Each structure stands twice: as structure tokens, then as C-alpha cells.
């Protein structure tokens, strides 16, 4: 290994001489010399680290097969008409045109997804941070119990179906019974079949489950903030916990905040399980339809794969753009 490094160094010197020689030449010559030099260094490094590729290979192959390639394939198929039986036929932008101009149900889906994402995304994110921050002040053993309590709903998986018991549409549902006994309503509310109530109830359930991976990351990150910074803060006259939060805690937490944002966005745009299980699939008047539900409908019920891929591509673009936007926003925290 040491030999190789030495060799690389001598080669560096040779290259430096070459570059100096090329100084008299034009820009293009310089560029090619530099490129060739970089390539040869990269090649050397690759040969040196052969084993690295062997180690990475299993993951890389599966990852490419099930994460990278599908995204590319999905973009490709979105420009075709494809129903599995016949070979895909190129139809240009037709899928997107009919999605955005003709498919009213898709527009309902987009509307619902955006409403859910805009409300539950930021709210869940802020809740995650707020509770992580409050929990952090508790004594040690209370804190570990609290983390379990707050995190449990999001790992409990299908536990949210219990909400269908609470919000049952007849007079035996607890919420309905409560509302009727207190005289707030005369008739039971059909929470999961009345379009007016579906989304709010779903959002409530999603918020209940929103303290997920990001929350854990925040809890862990807060414990890692250097205590001496807080002490310096007292000296410099930070009066209350809110100032401390803005000037010391948040800037220290930036990487975790980024990570939490990624998690929150991914969750907020991918809503479908909750709406499908609570409101049914398809739901009354499509009032609980989201983009992902629409994708399932076309992909796995109607087998219009090209159309479904167009939906997937739109969802993909929405998520990536939203992530980029939020990240550039978060860079300004605490400055």
C-alpha cells in the first residue's frame, strides 16, 4: 500500500511537470491533461480498493435493482401505454395530459395529498421536535419511559385501526356516544363515510402516529448537544428556554433537523394505508383518495401500468422538490 502511495506521488510530480508544459498550450489541452491525470488517479485508487467493491456489491446490486432502476423504469413507462399484455407503446406526454387535464379523481387525490402533507407534515415535524425537546429535560428514567410512550404509536403498525372503534359511524362508537350524550349532535356522525369528516379524522390518526424516526433522531441529537455551550449561554445572558432553543439548541441540531425533515416529508406524501383502512378503498365520493391510492387503483386494479407510472413519477418529483426546498430552508435555522 505504501509503495502504491509513493508511486502515486511520483506520478503526481510527473503530471505537474506535464501541466506546466501544457501551460503554453491552449485551454483544451490543459483540460484533457488534467482529466487524464484525474482518471489515472481514480483508476489507481480503484485497483487499490478492489475489495471495497466486493463488499459493496451485494448491497449495490439489490439497491440498484429495487430502488434506482425502478425509478428510471417508471419515468420511461410514464411516456408509454402499457398494460402488461401488450408491449409498451410510446405515446409521448399523453399520460400526463390526461392526468392533469381529464382525470378529476386524480386532482382530488392531489388535493387530498397536499392537504394532508401541508397540515400533518409540518405539524408532525414540529411536534416531534417539541416533544423530544421537552422530554430531554426530564430525569433519565422518566425520559426513557416517555420516549417509549411517544414513539410507540408509530411502531405499533396497524394499531391505528383501533380508531375505527372509537369513531364508529353508529351510536355505539365512543365519540358518537359522547357527542350525543352531551347533546352536541342528535344523530350519529358517519365519520368514515361522510366526506366532510374523513380527512380530518385521518389527519388526526396520522398526527397520532407522526412521532417516528425523526423524533428518535431528535431525542438522540439533543442528548449530544455539548453542555458547555449552555453554560456559556448563561454567561452571555440567555434569559429563558426559548432563547436557548433558538440560539444554542437549534443550530446544534441542524443535521438531525435535516434528517427529520426528510422522514417527515416522505411520510406526509406517502399517506395511503391510513386512509385505505379507515375510510375504505375506494372511499365515498373519493373523498379520502390520495395519490398513492390512485396509483394502486391504476397499477394493480386496472393494470394500466403506463398511466400508473406517470402518477408515480409525479409523486416522485413532488417529494424530491419538496425535500430540496425544505433543506435549503433549514440551512437558515439559527442564523
Partner 1 sequence: MSKKIKKVKEEKEQVYHKPMIRRRKPNRSIAGDVALFIFLAIVAVIMVFPIVYAVNAALKPLDELFMFPPRVFAKNPTLNNFADLFVTMGKSWVTFSRYLFNTVFITAAGTAGHLFVASMGAFVLAKYDFPGGQAFFKLVTVAMMFTGYVTQIPNYMIINKLGWVDTYWAIIIPAFASPMGLFLMKQFMEGLPTALIEAARIDGAGEWMVFSKIVMPNVKPAWMTLIIFSVQGLWNNRASTFIYSEERKTLVFALQQIQAGGIARTGQGAAVLVVVMIVPILIFVFSESQILETMASSGLKD
* Residue among 21 and 161 whose Cβ is closer to partner 1: 161
Chain residues 30-89 in contact with partner 1, contact rule CB under 8 A: 42, 45-46, 48-49, 51-53, 55-56, 58-60, 62-63, 65-71, 73-74, 77, 84
For the CB of residue 25, give the shortest distance to partner 1 in the complex, in Å: 27
Chain residues 128-167 in contact with partner 1, contact rule CB under 8 A: 131, 134-135, 137-139, 144, 146-153, 155-163, 165-166
Q: Does 216 bind partner 1 (CB under 8 A)?
A: yes
Chain residues 274-293 in contact with partner 1, contact rule CB under 8 A: 277, 292
- Assign 3-class secondary structure to 29-58: HHHHHHHHHHHHHHHHHHHHCHHHHHHHHH
For the CB of residue 8, give the shortest distance to partner 1 in the complex, in Å: 13
Q: Does 255 bind partner 1 (CB under 8 A)?
A: yes
Q: Does 295 bind partner 1 (CB under 8 A)?
A: yes
For the CB of residue 220, give the shortest distance to partner 1 in the complex, in Å: 4
- Assign 3-class secondary structure to 236-265: CCCCCHHHHHHHHHHHHCHHHHHHHHHHHH
Q: For residues 192 and 275, what is the distance between their CA atoms, to the nearest angstrom?
A: 9
Q: How many residues sit close enough to partner 1 to count as binding (CB under 8 A)?
A: 104
Q: Does 96 bind partner 1 (CB under 8 A)?
A: no
Q: For residues 243 and 253, what is the distance between their CA atoms, to the nearest angstrom?
A: 15
Phi, psi of 89 (to 5 degrees): -120, 130
Query: What are the residues whose beta carbons fall under 8 Å from the beta carbon of 55, sequence distance 6 or more?
Result: none
* Residue among 189 and 268 whose Cβ is closer to partner 1: 268
3-state secondary structure of 25: coil
Q: Does 247 bind partner 1 (CB under 8 A)?
A: no
Residue with cell 433549514: 330
Amino acid at each position: 500500500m505504501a509503495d502504491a502511495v509513493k508511486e502515486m506521488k511520483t506520478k503526481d510530480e510527473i503530471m505537474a511537470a506535464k501541466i506546466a508544459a501544457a501551460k503554453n498550450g491552449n485551454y483544451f489541452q490543459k483540460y484533457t491533461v488534467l482529466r487524464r491525470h484525474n482518471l489515472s488517479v481514480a483508476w489507481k485508487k480503484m485497483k487499490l480498493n478492489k475489495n471495497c467493491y466486493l463488499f459493496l456489491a451485494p448491497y449495490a446490486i439489490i439497491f440498484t435493482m429495487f430502488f434506482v432502476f425502478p425509478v428510471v423504469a417508471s419515468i420511461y413507462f410514464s411516456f408509454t401505454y402499457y398494460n402488461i399484455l401488450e408491449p409498451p407503446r410510446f405515446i409521448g406526454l399523453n399520460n400526463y395530459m390526461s392526468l392533469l387535464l381529464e382525470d378529476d379523481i386524480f386532482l382530488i387525490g392531489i388535493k387530498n395529498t397536499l392537504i394532508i402533507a401541508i397540515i400533518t407534515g409540518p405539524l408532525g415535524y414540529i411536534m416531534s421536535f417539541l416533544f423530544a425537546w421537552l422530554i430531554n429535560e426530564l430525569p433519565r428514567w422518566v425520559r426513557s419511559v416517555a420516549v417509549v410512550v411517544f414513539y410507540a404509536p408509530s411502531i405499533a403498525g396497524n394499531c391505528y385501526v383501533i380508531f375505527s372503534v372509537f369513531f364508529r359511524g353508529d351510536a355505539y362508537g365512543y365519540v358518537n356516544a359522547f357527542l350525543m350524550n352531551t347533546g352536541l349532535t342528535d344523530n350519529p356522525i358517519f365519520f368514515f363515510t361522510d366526506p366532510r369528516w374523513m380527512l380530518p379524522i385521518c389527519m388526526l390518526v396520522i398526527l397520532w402516529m407522526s412521532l417516528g424516526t425523526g423524533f428518535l433522531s431528535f431525542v438522540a441529537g439533543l442528548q449530544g448537544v455539548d453542555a458547555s455551550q449552555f453554560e456559556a449561554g448563561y454567561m452571555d445572558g440567555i434569559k429563558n428556554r426559548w432563547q436557548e432553543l433558538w440560539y444554542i439548541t437549534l443550530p446544534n441540531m441542524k443535521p438531525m433537523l435535516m434528517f427529520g425533515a426528510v422522514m417527515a416529508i416522505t411520510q406526509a406524501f406517502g399517506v395511503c394505508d391510513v386512509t385505505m383502512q379507515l375510510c375504505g378503498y375506494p372511499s365515498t365520493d373519493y373523498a379520502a383518495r390520495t395519490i398513492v391510492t390512485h396509483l394502486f387503483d391504476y397499477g394493480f386494479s386496472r393494470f394500466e401500468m403506463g398511466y400508473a407510472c406517470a402518477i408515480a413519477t409525479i409523486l416522485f418529483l413532488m417529494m424530491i422538490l419538496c425535500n430540496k426546498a425544505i433543506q435549503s430552508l433549514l440551512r437558515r435555522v439559527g442564523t
